[in-house]
């Protein structure tokens, strides 16, 4: 993510934490790692029916 966006890890974490704070993402902490989930996207994918 750092390379793709051209921002430091700390900056990316701040962006993701802000998206989490306003409800667009969900943060899941496993050990020392944090994983961010796009809840709207997960909801859309969960509602997709097989073609």
Tens-digit pLDDT profile for residues 1-51? 667 878 898 998 999 999 999 999 999 999 999 999 998 898 888 877 655
Tell me what pLDDT residue 51 has: 53
d(CA 39, CA 24): 6
Instruction: Report the predicted TM-score, pTM, of the whole model to 2 decimal places.
Output: 0.72
Q: How many CA atoms lie within 13 A of 16 on its CB side?
A: 20
CB distance 20 to 31 below 8 Å: no
Strands 25-30 and 33-38 turn out to be antiparallel
Tell me what pLDDT residue 22 has: 95
Tell me what pLDDT residue 47 has: 79
């Amino acid at each position: 993510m750092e390379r793709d966006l051209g921002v430091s890890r700390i900056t990316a974490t701040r962006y993701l934490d802000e998206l989490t704070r306003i409800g667009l993402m969900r943060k899941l902490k496993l050990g020392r790692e944090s994983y961010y989930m796009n809840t709207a996207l997960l909801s859309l994918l969960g509602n997709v029916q097989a073609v």
